[in-house]
Structure 1
Amino acid sequence: MAAQAGQAAAAGPIDMRRVEVVAPNLKRRLSGVTSTIVQLVPLQARELAIVTFGPGLPADLPRMRWWQLPALLARPERKPFRIWHARRNTEMVAGLVLRDVFRAPLRLLFTSAAQRRHKPFTRWLIRRMDAVVATSARSGSFLQVPHRVIMHGVDTKLFHPPRDPEDIWAATGLPGQYGIGCFGRIRHQKGTDLFIDAMIELLPRYPDWTAVILGRATAEHHAFAEDLKHRVHKAGLSQRIRFLGEVPDVRPWYRRLSLYVAPSRNEGFGLTPLEAMASGAAVVASDAGAYAELIVPEQTGMVVPAGDGAALSAAIEPYLADPALAARQGEAGRAHVAGRFALAGEAAALREVYEDLWERGR
């Protein structure tokens, strides 16, 4: 059945009678939620009749169209109802309208990644869900309803250690022998300035290392990004601290790094440390989001208090002084992710939640 849904996605419109789970993505811009859907749904679709819905998703994902929304008012062929798996407020609202206004045979599941007390409206929405998942124990601590913790995973086939000459630092054409990187949107929340400050302090003492920043600054953060570039230029490090913007494929860049830094001041979950460890890089991260639950200190990397620039620099320096340390912890990080955070584990745990909802529905 799932395979038939995938074939339908390639050949034409989805046969909605077979669809059992809808994963909406009601946001056009790329985000961590979108990345989760893009990685997870193809794996889920191997065993489950699941479709995505909304803008900003790759064309090869199984997807229902807007004109197919009325089909949700009828029951699926083999289940008592469909599951609407929301990950944002807008998606919870849409699910409530479908279920409670139009009486669609749906059950609503919400995955919460927020690391803060929810606003009253969000709490009201969450109380009306049929099931709730938290992406970390810390996220779950802010929920006031029964929930299950299911941490995100990564595809260890897509994110893997270096395998060919294009995967090594020399292939970048950038100076030095080792790379240290910070990926994601350039903004205060992500702590990009903390990373830049650390690099300005440390790189003059370690000439074999070069830093790369991947990601774009949206219009409202343009001045912030320009100030960072000015600080790098003023320090005389423009050749060794490189702003590369958005790249078509971030995966080779993870493989080229010896050390990855995730300096966020606050975060939802945060997939980049897992992607970096799966690719064989050691990781230094703040304790924002789920980072502290992903990294094993002094084995796969280090965790420092969010917003503490001095602690961040102090945690990074031992790796710059001893690249072999980064290599050892990067290897351990790959094994750690493969054992605890493989994407298949997340898919299997979500399948259990879906099946529990269907069983209760029967």
Structure 2
Amino acid sequence: MADRRQAAVVDIADVEIIAPNFKKRLSGVTSTIIQLIPVQRALGQKVAALGPGLPIDLPHIRFRDLLQLWTAPRGRRFRIWHARRNIEMLPAIFMRDILRMKLKIVFTSASQRRHSGWTKWLVSRMDAVIATSGRTADYLEVPNSVVMHGIDTARFSPPADKAAAKRACGLDAGKNVVGCFGRVRHQKGTDLFVDSMIRVLPSRPDWIAIVAGRATPQHISFENDLKDRVAAAGLAARILFVGEHTNINDWYRTLDLFIAPQRWEGFGLTPLEAMATAVPVIATDVGAFPELLVTGENETGVIIPRDNLQAMADAAAGFMDEADRRHAASARARAHAMEKFSIEGEAQRLNAVYMSV
């Protein structure tokens, strides 16, 4: 069936911020652009996307519109080009420095490793640099602003009736549910989650576990091995592989506990999505996770060492066995996500960086 959505082409004269996306494959960067632009525009920011792999109805400009970048937008001296990849920094440097187009370049880095010499040079040519976390900022050798990702706290919100939310997803409304969401693969630690559940669930009959996410073709054997382990433990009815869902927010609403077991992560939104849905979180010490959760007295969750099965099982058992602790962390998690990590807040902080250049 043909796509009948109307193409949202924006007049370049009204665009002050360009968000290029130069990779067709869906990625975290692409998802960020797709989610941010409607929010930015709702807040009055004149932003449009550029490039392939984006929804046709997302406000965008065409490549031929770049010929008009010698002219500044109405009421401004420059446009902002907000790059998020090397491939998007390089053409902007060419347009600004060689073609003398009226551009200022902002770059967002999510990398948590030392940059190559080439990337360092590109970053050194930016007018402003944004880091998505404090840990990312530590790897940058230029002045930067930390702007952490936000999420849609209306979409990711608690259910009015948790039992009904569980029934709507085909789960037993009488059971507590612990979940692990994301791609099924070794890097994401799905095996750690499954193995920890094999340890803790037999003595806790009031709990079930769900794995939500897709295994890409090269990881199918990994997923099948996990299913075999679950079956061998006699837990096939209590550790469920539910696949990938576009309504993942509905699945968060079924949860009483969320575990982010990653061995490596660039940033990682799943703990935020869980907390916004009033679900306490156990997360490994990777990506931005330690900066997302509140631990200790006013906990929204706990941070555990990466790749540590025993720590994961112990942390899960602690929350499973202490309902009062779990419920208190739930309420604090929602409030924390609303205050610190709304996508509207992210858009406003980005705009402050734009205005600074």
TM-score over 0.5 (shorter chain): yes
Q: Which amino acid aligns with 1:318?
A: G
Q: Which amino acid aligns with 1:189?
A: Q
1:99 lines up with 2:107 in the alignment: no
Identity %: 49
Of residues 272-281 and 341-350 in structure 1, the stretch that sits farther from structure 2 once superposed is: 341-350
Q: Which residue of 1 aligns with 2:110?
A: 113
Q: Which residue of 1 aligns with 2:306?
A: 306
Would the aligned equivalents of 2:8 and 2:58 in 1 still touch at CA under 8 Å? no
Which of 174, 181, 184 in structure 2 is aligned with 1:183?
Answer: 181
Q: How large is the RMSD of aligned CA atoms in angstroms?
A: 2.0
Q: Distance in 2 between matches of 1:161 and 1:108?
A: 39
Of residues 258-267 and 36-45 in structure 1, the stretch that sits farther from structure 2 once superposed is: 36-45
Moved over 4 A (4+): 9-12, 164-167
Which of 142, 149, 153 in structure 1 is aligned with 2:150?
Answer: 153
Structure 1 residue 291: Cα displacement: 0.5
Would the aligned equivalents of 1:170 and 1:177 in 2 still touch at CA under 8 Å? no
Q: Distance in 1 between matches of 2:99 and 2:210?
A: 50
Q: Distance in 1 between matches of 2:176 and 2:46?
A: 44
Which of 281, 284, 302 in structure 1 is aligned with 2:282?
Answer: 284
Q: Which residue of 2 aligns with 1:45?
A: 41
Q: Which amino acid aligns with 2:9?
A: P
Structure 1 residue 49: Cα displacement: 0.7
Question: Unaligned 5+ residue runs, structure 2?
Answer: none
Q: Which amino acid aligns with 2:308?
A: D
Q: Which residue of 2 aligns with 1:339?
A: 339
Of residues 216-225 and 271-280 in structure 1, the stretch that sits farther from structure 2 once superposed is: 216-225
Q: Which residue of 2 aligns with 1:4?
A: none
Structure 1 residue 104: Cα displacement: 2.8
Q: Which residue of 1 aligns with 2:13?
A: 17
Q: Which residue of 2 aligns with 1:297?
A: 295
Q: Distance in 2 between matches of 1:330 and 1:281?
A: 5
Q: Which amino acid aligns with 1:76?
A: P
Q: Distance in 2 between matches of 1:192 and 1:69?
A: 44
1:222 lines up with 2:217 in the alignment: no
Q: Which amino acid aligns with 2:230?
A: V
Q: Which amino acid aligns with 1:286?
A: T
Q: Distance in 2 between matches of 1:61 and 1:133?
A: 23
Of residues 114-123 and 254-263 in structure 1, the stretch that sits farther from structure 2 once superposed is: 114-123
Aligned length: 349
Would the aligned equivalents of 1:263 and 1:285 in 2 still touch at CA under 8 Å? yes
Q: Which amino acid aligns with 1:321?
A: D
Of residues 162-171 and 132-141 in structure 1, the stretch that sits farther from structure 2 once superposed is: 162-171
Q: Which residue of 2 aligns with 1:66?
A: 63
Q: Distance in 1 between matches of 2:310 and 2:133?
A: 27
1:137-148, aligned counterparts within 5 Å?
137-148=134-145
Would the aligned equivalents of 2:8 and 2:56 in 1 still touch at CA under 8 Å? no
Distance 1:107 1:214, change over 3 A: same
Structure 1 residue 20: Cα displacement: 0.5
Q: Distance in 1 between matches of 2:168 and 2:247?
A: 15
Distance 1:59 1:239, change over 3 A: farther
Distance 1:220 1:282, change over 3 A: same
Would the aligned equivalents of 2:70 and 2:101 in 1 still touch at CA under 8 Å? yes
Q: Which residue of 1 aligns with 2:77?
A: 80
Q: Distance in 2 between matches of 1:251 and 1:65?
A: 33
Distance 1:186 1:93, change over 3 A: farther
Distance 1:339 1:266, change over 3 A: same
Of residues 326-335 and 217-226 in structure 1, the stretch that sits farther from structure 2 once superposed is: 217-226
Would the aligned equivalents of 1:75 and 1:82 in 2 still touch at CA under 8 Å? yes
1:233 lines up with 2:236 in the alignment: no
Query: What SS does structure 2 have at the residue aligned with 1:256?
Result: coil
Which of 196, 209, 212 in structure 1 is aligned with 2:210?
Answer: 212
Q: Which residue of 2 aligns with 1:321?
A: 321
Structure 1 residue 155: Cα displacement: 1.9
Which of 189, 192, 216 in structure 1 is aligned with 2:190?
Answer: 192
Q: Distance in 1 between matches of 2:207 and 2:135?
A: 34
Q: Distance in 1 between matches of 2:115 and 2:6?
A: 39
Would the aligned equivalents of 1:210 and 1:240 in 2 still touch at CA under 8 Å? yes
Which of 114, 126, 143 in structure 1 is aligned with 2:123?
Answer: 126
Q: Which residue of 2 aligns with 1:5?
A: none
Q: Distance in 1 between matches of 2:293 and 2:162?
A: 28
Distance 1:72 1:224, change over 3 A: farther
Would the aligned equivalents of 2:148 and 2:341 in 1 still touch at CA under 8 Å? yes
Would the aligned equivalents of 1:264 and 1:306 in 2 still touch at CA under 8 Å? yes
Question: Unaligned 5+ residue runs, structure 1?
Answer: 1-8, 358-362
Would the aligned equivalents of 1:14 and 1:64 in 2 still touch at CA under 8 Å? yes
Structure 1 residue 98: Cα displacement: 3.2
Would the aligned equivalents of 1:32 and 1:270 in 2 still touch at CA under 8 Å? no
Structure 1 residue 164: Cα displacement: 4.9
Q: Distance in 2 between matches of 1:188 and 1:198?
A: 15
Distance 1:163 1:30, change over 3 A: farther
Q: Distance in 2 between matches of 1:304 and 1:216?
A: 25
Q: Which residue of 2 aligns with 1:360?
A: none
Query: What SS does structure 1 have at the residue aligned with 2:245?
Result: coil
Q: What per-residue deviation string (whole Å, max 9, x for no partner) do you get for residues 92-123 of structure 1?
A: 23323433444332211111111222222222
Q: Distance in 1 between matches of 2:244 and 2:98?
A: 42
Q: Which amino acid aligns with 2:259?
A: V
**TM-score (normalizing by structure 2):** 0.91
